[in-house]
Amino acid sequence: MNNVAAYVTPLTCGVIWLIKGEMSTEAPVYRELDYLLDGLLTANLKASANFGSHVVVGSSFAGPLYVMILRELRAQEIESYVALLKKELGPEKEILVLDDADNFAKLRVELGPLAAHLRLLQ
């Protein structure tokens, strides 16, 4: 999953990072997402370090970029994330998934019909 920024295109409206264990600010994926979000990920983490998930909205290619970091798949958190980005999800739009926790199959089930927009980066 090196060079996440190379996979973010004008068609990308969201990124979901499924982490295993504690989030490391030293992880290359963390640094790349923080770069894409102009430092908002680090600012969000400092303000809400004890939460199990984080959603940060930045911008990319003149549109919003919704980034969600999940330690556990919780239906209510995923539903809230989908509600945020649903208005951006046209037929050609995609949500990148970075899966460090081997939960991609479960995520697809949770998202139902919206799973067609997922693009797994390995």
Residue 102: left (phi > 0), alpha (psi -120 to 50), or beta? left
What local confidence, expressed as pLDDT, does residue 48 receive?
64
Predicted TM-score (pTM) above 0.85: yes
Q: Which domain holds residue 96?
A: 4-121
Phi and psi dihedrals of 85, rounded to 5?
-100, -5
What is the CB-side half-sphere exposure of residue 2 using CA atoms within 13 A?
0
pLDDT tens for the chain, 122 residues long, are 568 999 999 999 999 999 988 877 888 898 999 999 988 888 877 766 666 688 899 999 989 999 999 988 988 999 999 999 988 898 999 999 999 999 999 999 999 889 999 999 97
What CATH number has the domain bearing residue 74? Answer: 3.40.220
Domain count, the chain: 1
3-state secondary structure of 91: coil
What local confidence, expressed as pLDDT, does residue 6 receive?
92
Phi and psi dihedrals of 78, rounded to 5?
-65, -40
